[in-house]
Amino acid sequence: MQDSKLLTGNITKSLLLFALPMIAGNLLQQCYNIADTVIVGRFLGADALAAVGSAYTLMTFLTSIILGLCMGSGASFSISFGRGDLDRMKNGIFQSFVFIGIVTAAVNLAVFLGIDGIIWFLRVPDSITALMRDYLLVIFAGITATFLYNYFACLLRSVGNSRVPLLFLAVSAVMNIVLDLVFVVVFSWGVAGAAFATILSQYAAGAGLAAYTWFRFRDLMPGRTHMHRDRAVFHEITGFSFLTCLQQSVMNFGILMVQGLVNSFGPVIMAAFAAAVKIDSFAYMPVQDFGNAFSTFIAQNYGAKKEDRIQKGMKSAFLCALFFCLLISLLVCLFAEPLMQLFISAGETEIIAAGVHYLRIEGAFYFGIGLLFLLYGLYRAIARPGMSVVLTVISLGTRVVLAYTLSAIPAVGVTGIWMSVPIGWALADLTGVLCYRRIRRRNSL
């Protein structure tokens, strides 16, 4: 079994091998947005890039709500599966599918009805309001696809199958790039074309994975006897889901508030931020997935009461994250300009300069967020997920407050938004480390 490898043998090797499939999957997930950004930026111009980039931040927030609920349900499925209680698991699958489906429909309806209010809240400049509205009207139709893919991916992973979701995601990512080129470059459909490419690819992954699960994993599908409300099962699922959803949504809502502030500085800064955030996401995505793998490692050894292995694993994970983050920081700082030119034409010198400025401030401190991902994983693993929410609030709260405060100082301006990010990471890291030391003294972890 894959899980037993985390309890014995070489710790660093086990962690890295466990993390690699997760890293590959998330890097493919980023391809959806990278493809839009590159093609839109190079073929449709800075205003279109600013509109799509601002919409990306919004969609990340909306997705985080659904993803958090699916991840929480997946944790409940894993426990029932491990106990061998398949009837409870199937009832949980039925109840969670209905519950998350209703939440998804409510979110979808709300954003369609409130689209103009959303654009106002994000402080989108008048020059790109029409572009962003065109993009959002299409991209919102893909929220259901996001639910289907993440729900069934979490279900399959809960029973130990991570390869199939990765395969569907790979096909979808390639499809997205091809359709982007066809709709934007060949058919000249503009930003709406980029949005159509994305949602068609998402539905291919979501509906395809749902159908595959239904036909190939019939033993997991609820029967008529499982289709009823069980209060205990429902409370367990919502309990697991709530804190995960809260952490995901708080984090991305904070980023959404910063996006509104960025938008107030005009299309140049919006376009620079849109491109730089994609580089950011790609740069530290592997260490985020490493943090999730580390969480599983700690959880298994915590359950097995292998305290010595936990401490060695923490040291190993810290060194791996430190090495990776320092390497990525060096590369991003050195190659910030050519990285920006992947998204922006070389002639857009003002946008490229603004993006390079952002990357060299934030990129120098990637270890701050690397350590934060390890702390998130640690607290989930030792049954204190509430601390992950606390650390998220500290990190994002600091970022939002400082961003608005510092950027209001004329001599600092937009640099204050960029500086607020590593400061927020540092405060959350310090809090997380001090709290863990206190927990360890009390409980001998």
pLDDT at residue 297, rounded to an integer: 76
Question: Would 383 be classed as within a structural domain?
Answer: yes
Are 63 and 95 found together in one domain?
yes
Are 307 and 336 found together in one domain?
yes
Are 64 and 212 found together in one domain?
yes
> Domain ends where: 215, 240, 264?
264
Distance CA(86)–CA(80), nearest Å, equals: 7
Are 276 and 424 found together in one domain?
yes
Are 114 and 16 found together in one domain?
no
Apex 429 CA angle, 426 and 431, nearest 5: 110
Question: Would 367 be classed as within a structural domain?
Answer: yes
Question: Would 395 be classed as within a structural domain?
Answer: yes
Distance CA(218)–CA(215), nearest Å, equals: 6
Residue 234 CB contacts under 8 Å (≥ 6 apart), including other chains: 95, 99
> Domain ends where: 264, 287, 315?
264
> Domain ends where: 213, 240, 264?
264
pLDDT at residue 2, rounded to an integer: 38
* Domain ranges, residue 17: 1-28+272-445
How many domains does the chain contain in total? 2
Are 88 and 129 found together in one domain?
yes
Question: Would 385 be classed as within a structural domain?
Answer: yes
Distance CA(104)–CA(110), nearest Å, equals: 10
pLDDT at residue 1, rounded to an integer: 36
Its pTM stands at 0.73
Q: What is the pLDDT along the chain (445 residues), one digit of tens a residue?
A: 334 466 677 888 888 877 787 788 777 776 666 666 778 888 888 788 888 877 877 887 888 889 888 877 776 776 676 567 789 889 999 999 999 999 999 999 999 999 999 999 888 888 889 999 999 999 999 999 999 999 998 888 767 677 788 889 889 988 988 999 999 999 999 999 999 999 999 999 999 999 999 999 988 899 889 988 888 888 878 876 777 777 777 766 777 778 778 888 888 888 888 888 878 878 888 888 888 778 767 766 766 677 888 889 899 999 999 999 999 999 999 999 999 988 787 888 899 999 999 999 988 999 999 999 999 878 876 767 678 888 988 988 888 889 999 988 988 888 999 999 899 999 999 999 999 888 887 765 5
DSSP calls for 46-69: HHHHHHHHHHHHHHHHHHHHHHHH
